[in-house]
Structure 1
C-alpha cells in the first residue's frame, strides 16, 4: 500500500469549526465536550482526519500485511447514530477501564457510545490517558 492508497489523511479543516457545523444539535454539544476532554488529557491540538474524524497525535504504522501509513493516536467522530471513539483499546488497563466505562459497544478499532451522558467521563479520561501513554 502506498501513501496514494490511504483514503483517510489529515486535512486543513478546523475541528472546532467542523463540530459547529454538525447537522444534529446534540452532536454539536457532544463534539464540543469531546474536544475539551481529549485536548485536556492529551495536551495536543485536534486535527481533522478525513471528513469526519477528529484525531490527536500521530503515529506511523506498518501492519502485519505490510501496509503502512500515518494515523492519529486517539480521537473521536460524533456521527448521527452514535459517537465513535478511536485508539482506546490495547493499553494494559483498557479492558479493566472499559468494564467501568458505562453503556458502550466495542468494535475492532473503536468504542461506540450513544452519548457522553451514558458513560463515566472520568473513566473515559483514564482510557484516553492510558492509550496516550502506551504509545508515547
Structure 2
C-alpha cells in the first residue's frame, strides 16, 4: 500500500513563505490566511508536504484500508492561485459556496486568486463547518483542543 506523500514536516512556515512566494501581495494574503485559520481552528500552522500550510489534523481510513493523517484546514499559496483545503461536502457548505465570491472548485479544493476576491466571513463559516464535519466523522485532534466559537 502506498504511503501518503502529504505529511506534517518540521519546515518553518515563515521560511517556506520567504523562499516560495515571490509576490508581496500573495505573501501578505498568506500571512492573513495564517492568522485567520489559526483563530478559526485553534491550532498553530505547520507545513504539510513541501507546500501546504495546515492547521490541526485528523485521521482517516478508507474502506480500501488506506489510512493517514491530514490537516483539518489548510492552504497552499501556489503561483496561479491559492489552493484552499477547507471544504467538507456537507449541506451547510454547499449552500455557503453561493456567497463565497470569485473562486473555482475541484472535488476537494477551492481556488482563489486573492483574498479580496472572496467574502472572508463566508470562508470562516466553511472552515468551521468543515472542522465540525471532520470532528464528527473522523478521529480528530479538534476533540481535545479548546475552540473559540
TM-score surpassing 0.5?
yes
1:13 aligned counterpart, secondary structure: coil
2:91 aligned counterpart, secondary structure: coil
My pick for the range that moved more, 9-18 or 52-61, is: 9-18
Map 1:69-88; keep pairs closer than 5 Å: 69-88=68-87
Separation in structure 2 between the aligned mates of residue 94 and residue 39 of structure 1, nearest angstrom: 20
My pick for the range that moved more, 39-48 or 21-30, is: 21-30
Which portions of structure 1, spanning 4 or more consecutive aligned residues, are displaced by more than 4 angstroms? none
Map 1:59-98; keep pairs closer than 5 Å: 59-98=58-97
Give the root-mean-square deviation of aligned CA atoms.
Answer: 1.4
Equivalent residue, structure 2, for 1:50: 49
- Contact 2:88/2:133 (<8 A) preserved: no
- Contact 2:86/2:126 (<8 A) preserved: no
Separation in structure 2 between the aligned mates of residue 97 and residue 70 of structure 1, nearest angstrom: 26
Separation in structure 2 between the aligned mates of residue 113 and residue 65 of structure 1, nearest angstrom: 32
1:70 aligned counterpart, secondary structure: strand
Separation in structure 1 between the aligned mates of residue 14 and residue 42 of structure 2, nearest angstrom: 16
Quote how far apart the aligned CAs of 1:102 are: 0.3
Give the number of equivalent residue pairs: 134
Equivalent residue, structure 2, for 1:105: 104
Equivalent residue, structure 2, for 1:16: 14
Separation in structure 1 between the aligned mates of residue 36 and residue 132 of structure 2, nearest angstrom: 16
> Which structure 2 residue ranges, 5 or more long, are not aligned?
136-149
1:127 aligns with 2:100: no
Separation in structure 2 between the aligned mates of residue 62 and residue 29 of structure 1, nearest angstrom: 36
Please give the TM-score of this superposition, normalised by the length of structure 2.
Answer: 0.83
> Which structure 1 residue ranges, 5 or more long, are not aligned?
none
Q: In 2 relative to 1, CA 129–23 (structure 1 residues): closer, same or farther, beyond 3 Å? A: same
Please give the TM-score of this superposition, normalised by the length of structure 1.
Answer: 0.91
